[in-house]
């Protein structure tokens, strides 16, 4: 079974994740539960899949770190894939994503959450456990801005998941490390790129958190995600990432710039046969800001409980709202894909300027060097080690301008005659 076949099989049963490991049966997560769906895979089979998906640069990252993250469109389905090593050998964890994301309502989220992106500046945190739909909620908030006002939105992601279409806003998507070597460098660069909204797919290190807080304080609306079980834990994680002598100033900075925190988990609704997010929402009223400054994060749940009239939501109150809902939006099924559906990378490396040769060999195209250079290993196509090189046939186009090549030195009279020929052909 090829990787494309495994994705088609997982999509057919409505899986959200697909797990592959050498010496283990193929496992899919359906409605939150892990279910074996295929035969035991050998290390050779997984290696063949990896060679089909990883470029030379990705292989270098994998060999250096022991893991690699990529995003692809496989058989019409957007996938975020993590390659890693285990005691049995190579393993892959694949998240199957929706082809596109709508607004909050289309993602079955509380419409009142749009107030989070109505603020001109500050920090919005979307948190939750792994696999709780944080990226989808973040994408829905971006689409709310995209549909309502003209803003310059810069997203920093690792890897790219959803690809946005400019509506009223202008969205510039950057992948780490394809378009910038690190989140830290990308945030510093983004502040010089005139953003109105800055999106950080995950705050992982103290330096990223510090730069994120600085960006939120300097006149930008910043949306970021992180892992936590509650809103209080998310704020506590940020502060505890710094040395003790800096935590007081970080708490003050966080209290001043915070716009809101959303913590979510996915709940399966038996009646509707679907999973929807269940949220806890913290908004920065005076009580919340004072609690954050004092570092009393254990009291955040009480602040949320007493802030219902101001738009805050506990998990229990949100559950009651879910029970009263009578209209849910079902995710649209991906379009049917032919048996020869392609694997398409969603991010491209920027081509070097003219005259600068990239490292390694670059796959040529009919019109010269491709705009997305890929290093090709000996005997293979760029990005697919071991695959035979297929020459690309040039397509005849009678309307295309004729290309004139000068293969030898010409004197001035020959050049003048050549110029007259070109002039006669020009309408």
Name the 3-class secondary structure at 362. Answer: strand
| DSSP state for residue 31 in the 8-state scheme | T
Considering the domain delimited by 111-324, tell me its CATH architecture.
3-Layer(aba) Sandwich (3.40)
Task: With cut-offs at 50, 70 and 90, classify the pLDDT of residue 421.
Answer: low
Q: CB neighbours of 408 closer than 8 A, spacing ≥ 6?
A: none
Q: Which residue has the tokens 């780490």?
A: 176
For residue 98, name the pLDDT band (cuts at 50, 70, 90): confident
The pTM of the full predicted model, rounded to 2 decimals, is 0.74
> Could you give the dihedral angle defined by the CA atoms of residues 349, 353, 354 and 355, in that order, rounded to the nearest 10 degrees?
-100
Strand-pair category, 221-227 with 197-200: parallel
Query: What pLDDT shows up at residue 326?
Result: 86
Residues 197-214, mean pLDDT to the nearest whole number: 95
Residue 46, pLDDT above cutoff 60: yes
Average pLDDT over residues 80-105: 89
How many residues are listed for the chain in this entry?
Answer: 427
**Cα–Cα distance, 75 to 93 (Å, whole number):** 17
Q: What is the DSSP letter of 89?
A: E
**Domain 3-97 classified CATH 3.30.450.90?**
yes
306-324: burial string, b at 16+ Cβ within 10 Å, e else: ebeeebbbbbebbeeebee
Evaluate whether 290 touches 281 at the Cβ level (below 8 Å).
no
Most confident of 64-78, 203-217, 372-386: 203-217
Q: Are 306 and 288 in contact (CB under 8 A)?
A: no
pLDDT at 397 over 60: no
User: Tokens in use for 92?
Assistant: 């892959």
- Highest mean pLDDT (candidates 99-103, 123-127, 337-341, 403-407): 123-127
Write down the pLDDT at residue 320: 94
Tell me whether the omega of the peptide bond preceding residue 177 falls within 30 degrees of 0, making it cis.
Answer: yes
Distance CA 244, CA 229 (A): 23
Cα 208–Cα 209–Cα 211 angle in degrees, nearest 5:
65
The three-state DSSP-derived secondary structure of 107-173 is: CCCCHHHHHHHCCCCEEEEEEECCCCCHHHHHHHHHHHHHHHCCCEEEEEECCCCCCCCCCCCEEEE
**Alpha-carbon distance values, 215 to 15, 267, 330, 374 (Å):** 37, 34, 36, 34
What is the C-alpha separation between 239 and 311, in angstroms, rounded?
Answer: 25
Quick one: tokens of 105? 């309502």
Contact, 30 vs 12, CB < 8 A? no
Mean pLDDT score, 302-308: 94
Going from N- to C-terminal start, the domains of the chain cover 3-97, 111-324
CB 50 within 8 Å of CB 68: no
Q: What does the pLDDT read at residue 412?
A: 60
The H or E element containing residue 48 is helix 43-53
Please check the confidence at residue 193 and state whether its pLDDT lies above 70.
yes
pLDDT > 70 fraction of the chain, expressed in percent and rounded: 77
Looking at the predicted structure, is the pLDDT value of residue 240 above 90? yes
In which element (H, E) is residue 81 found?
strand 77-86
pLDDT for the residue 235: 97
| CB-CB contact of 156 with 200 (8 Å) | yes
Dihedral angle computed from the Cα positions of residues 158, 276, 98 and 350, in that order, rounded to the nearest 10 degrees: -20
Whole-angstrom distance, CA of residue 12 vs CA of residue 6 = 10
Residue 89 neighbours by CB under 8 Å, 6+ apart: 21, 22, 23, 43, 46
How does residue 74 score in pLDDT terms, banded at 50, 70 and 90?
Answer: confident
Element (H, E) at 264: strand 258-269
Per the structure block, which two tokens stand in for 320? 């009651």
Q: What is the pLDDT of residue 298?
A: 93
Range 12-24 average pLDDT: 91
Alpha helices (H) in 218-341, listed in sequence order = 231-240, 244-257, 286-294, 300-306, 315-324
Q: How confident is the model at residue 102 (pLDDT cuts 50, 70, 90)?
A: confident
pLDDT at 377 over 50: no
Q: What is the pLDDT of residue 39?
A: 87
pLDDT of amino acid 354:
52
Average pLDDT, integer, range 247-257:
95
In whole angstroms, give the CA distance from residue 27 to residue 38: 7
Residue 177 pLDDT > 60, yes or no? yes
Tell me the average pLDDT across 367-378: 36
* In the predicted structure, residue 144 carries a pLDDT above the cut 80: yes
CA distance 146 to 168: 5
Residues 29-56, mean pLDDT to the nearest whole number: 89
Could you give the 3-state DSSP secondary structure of residue 300?
A: helix
- Model pLDDT, residue 422: 66
CA angle 384, 16, 166 (to 5 degrees): 75
Q: Decide if pLDDT at 364 tops 60.
A: no
Whether 378 shows a pLDDT value over 60: the answer reads: no
Asked whether residue 383 carries a pLDDT value surpassing 50, the answer given is: no
Q: pLDDT band for 398, please (50, 70, 90 cuts).
A: very low
The residue with greater pLDDT, 164 or 387, is 164
């Amino acid at each position: 079974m090829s990787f494309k076949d495994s994705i088609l099989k997982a999509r057919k049963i409505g899986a959200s994740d697909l797990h592959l490991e050498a010496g283990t049966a193929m496992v899919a997560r359906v409605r939150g539960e892990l279910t074996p769906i295929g035969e035991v895979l050998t290390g050779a089979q997984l290696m063949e899949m990896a060679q089909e998906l990883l470029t030379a640069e990705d292989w270098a990252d994998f060999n250096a770190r022991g893991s690699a993250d990529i995003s692809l469109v496989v058989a019409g389905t957007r996938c975020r894939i993590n390659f890693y090593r285990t005691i049995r050998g190579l393993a892959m964890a694949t998240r199957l994503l929706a082809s596109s994301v709508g607004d909050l309502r289309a993602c079955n989220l509380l419409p009142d959450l749009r107030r989070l992106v109505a603020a001109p500046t500050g920090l919005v945190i979307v948190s939750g456990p792994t696999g709780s739909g944080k990226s989808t909620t973040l994408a829905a908030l971006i689409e709310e801005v995209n549909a309502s006002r003209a803003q310059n939105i810069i997203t920093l992601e690792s890897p790219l998941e959803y690809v946005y279409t400019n509506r009223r806003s202008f969205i510039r998507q950057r992948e780490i490390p394809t378009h910038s070597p690190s989140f830290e460098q990308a945030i510093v660069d983004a502040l010089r790129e005139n953003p109105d909204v800055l999106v950080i797919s995950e705050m992982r290190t103290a330096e990223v958190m510090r730069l994120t807080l600085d960006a939120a304080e300097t006149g930008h609306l910043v949306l970021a995600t992180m892992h936590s079980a509650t809103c209080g834990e998310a704020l506590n994680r940020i502060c505890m990432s710094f040395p003790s002598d800096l935590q007081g100033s970080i708490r003050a900075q966080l209290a001043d710039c915070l716009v809101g925190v959303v913590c979510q988990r996915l709940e399966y609704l038996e009646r509707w046969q679907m999973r929807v997010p269940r949220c806890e929402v913290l908004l920065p009223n005076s009580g919340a800001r004072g609690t954050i400054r004092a570092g009393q994060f254990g009291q955040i749940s009480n602040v949320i409980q007493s802030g219902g009239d101001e738009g805050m939501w506990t998990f229990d109150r949100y559950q009651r709202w879910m029970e009263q809902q009578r209209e849910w939006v079902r995710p649209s099924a991906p379009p049917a894909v032919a048996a020869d559906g392609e694997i398409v990378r969603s991010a491209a490396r920027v081509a070097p300027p003219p005259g600068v040769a990239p490292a390694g060999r670059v796959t040529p195209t009919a019109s010269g060097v491709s705009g997305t250079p890929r290093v090709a290993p000996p005997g293979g196509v760029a990005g697919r080690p071991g695959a035979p090189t297929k020459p690309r046939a040039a397509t005849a186009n009678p309307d295309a301008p004729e290309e004139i090549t000068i293969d030898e030195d010409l004197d001035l009279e020959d050049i003048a005659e050549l110029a007259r020929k070109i002039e006669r052909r020009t309408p």
